[in-house]
Structure 1
């Protein structure tokens, strides 16, 4: 369904060279569709890799996922972040690719999926970034954080965690 995933170090974007290597590895002549979460570093590096691929006459298209309704802009994005909706884009576009849709049709489908996918994340505790050594935001054991990002960005607010009763 998907031929490659390119990850950077913890909480960082992959480099253009890493992405370009993946593009060259998976290209079979019909072009490559990249599904990118809308984070500034990701978008910039995937665009740079796309430019590198064009030198080798590899056609590359991108679908930028921006499903997060918690924030419109952040320190890490221009526009909404790409979070959980990425899974739907990957599954739907991947199945369509397996069915033989063209690169242009996959791009159109991906853009439509993104346009119609929205998400909102919550957290019961913050992640600890290894280099920092402490949680990315403060959250009491009886609180929930709304609108967190996948890179440990704090959300839009906290509330007492309600009981299940």
Structure 2
């Protein structure tokens, strides 16, 4: 009996540790998501500190090389981070930085402290949140309707089976 209780206690402790480990893995995944958004500004940091490489691998300057490299690495980091089930709110940082990057593609001379740039990036994040909420709500309604339909089908089948039993019972008399 005591051995059985010890096994139950060990199992519960394993679940507690697993829950704690899952939390830390989600934190790590969220950190990677944040990193994927932050590296998009690496070219700006390199430019600010006058960081230059001797070999730019065919690019015009070091800033362009770093920008292309960060644009390539960021989605890969996002893919890896998604395996750790990060907190969904962490994606907002990456969405924010990608919208700023998109703005800079068409307006490269705009500085980061530009009011319209910030409004655009904030609006994109807000739109993403609203779109996510709507998709979740629609899926929830769809799932609820599917459950109701399944319950209705089960009730109809039970009713048909009861009627069949009554008909069989009456025909046997």
Identify the structure with the greater strand proportion. 1
TM-score by length of 2: 0.26
Give the TM-score taking structure 1 as reference length. 0.26
Greater C-alpha radius of gyration: 2
Higher helix share: 2
Instruction: Give the structure, 1 or 2, with the largest relative contact order (CA under 8 Å, sep 6 or more).
Output: 2
